[in-house]
Amino acid sequence: MSQTWKMSDEEIRIMFKQCKCPIHQVRIIADLNVKSVHETKEKLMSLGFKKEDMSRLRADSDSVRKPVQGEWTEEQCEILHSLRRKGMTCKEIAEAMGRSEKAVWHRINVLEKSNYKEARV
């Protein structure tokens, strides 16, 4: 039985690598892909992650997920664009990427404006 995932392997890999709380991120990835936590853990293991990586907090994080601060990388912008094309809301994208909803909304607007200006030149 072939299993289809809404997110690409690379999107899943990047989201999991960048998360502050792997315990929560496994659930988020599962929800975004309409999969069970078990299926998601199996997928992550097939992408090279260890089971231990999915069941504990990172050493540098606390138990409360905080939005990522700082500038957006090109890679994050590509993921944002990809998730937006798939019809995800700003809130869903924010939860998946560990950003605030306002930050996602703002970044979408900045990207749309820059593409609009480039298209007119």
Given pLDDT bands bounded at 50, 70 and 90, which one contains residue 73? confident
Co-location of 45 and 82 in the same domain: no
Co-location of 52 and 88 in the same domain: no
Q: State the amino acid at position 71 in one-letter form.
A: E
For residue 26, is pLDDT > 60? yes
Contact by Cβ (8 Å): 89, 80 = no
pTM for this model (two decimals): 0.49
Alpha carbon of 110 to those of 5, 20, 107: distances in Å? Answer: 29, 25, 5
Q: Which domain holds residue 36?
A: 8-64
Contact by Cβ (8 Å): 102, 78 = no
CATH number at residue 92: 1.10.10
User: Would 107 be classed as within a structural domain?
Assistant: yes
Co-location of 86 and 101 in the same domain: yes
Rounded CA-CA distance 92/84 in Å is: 10
Co-location of 60 and 83 in the same domain: no
Rounded (10°) CA dihedral 107, 24, 48, 10: -20
Alpha carbon of residue 35 to chain centroid: 15
Alpha carbon of residue 108 to chain centroid: 15
For residue 5, is pLDDT > 60? yes
